[in-house]
Amino acid sequence: SFTKLPHLAGTGQNLLLAKQIQSQWKEFGLDSAELVPYDVLLSYPNETQPNYISIIDAQGNEIFNTSLSEPPPQGYENVTDILPPYNAFSAQGVPE
């Protein structure tokens, strides 16, 4: 059940999953299982201007680009809040 719902880092669903794991570890007899908060920089997709990767040929024609969506895996057709694929920590730009 750990992967049944989306649990992007920093979200409430991710915290619920952490608490579930903590509870199970305590049930397994671990002496201690602590949740420690951290302040970190996280990258989330921009839903209005999603990043993608493309390959441009010598004439400037785009010959490939990464998909901005994927079909859901079997059994997950009705799961909501699934993020589209994205390139975490990738700034927009044109590398040369």
In this predicted structure, the answer to whether residue 92 has a pLDDT above a threshold of 90 is no
33 & 6 share domain:
yes
What pLDDT score does 35 carry? 95
DSSP for residue 83: P
Residue-wise pLDDT tens digits, 34-55? 999 999 888 888 878 888 888 9
50 & 96 share domain:
yes
Tokens for 53, please give them. 């990767």
* Cα 39 from Cα 75, distance rounded (Å): 34
What pLDDT score does 42 carry? 84
11 & 38 share domain:
yes
What pLDDT score does 3 carry? 78
34 & 75 share domain:
no
**Domain enclosing residue 76, as ranges:** 46-96
What pLDDT score does 84 carry? 80
19 & 52 share domain:
no
Residue-wise pLDDT tens digits, 8-36? 888 899 999 999 999 999 999 999 999 99
29 & 75 share domain:
no
Report the C-alpha dihedral over residues 37, 11, 79, 16, rounded to 10 degrees: 40
Locate all alpha helices (DSSP H) within 1-96, ordered by sequence: 12-27
In this predicted structure, the answer to whether residue 62 has a pLDDT above a threshold of 90 is yes
51 & 94 share domain:
yes
15 & 61 share domain:
no
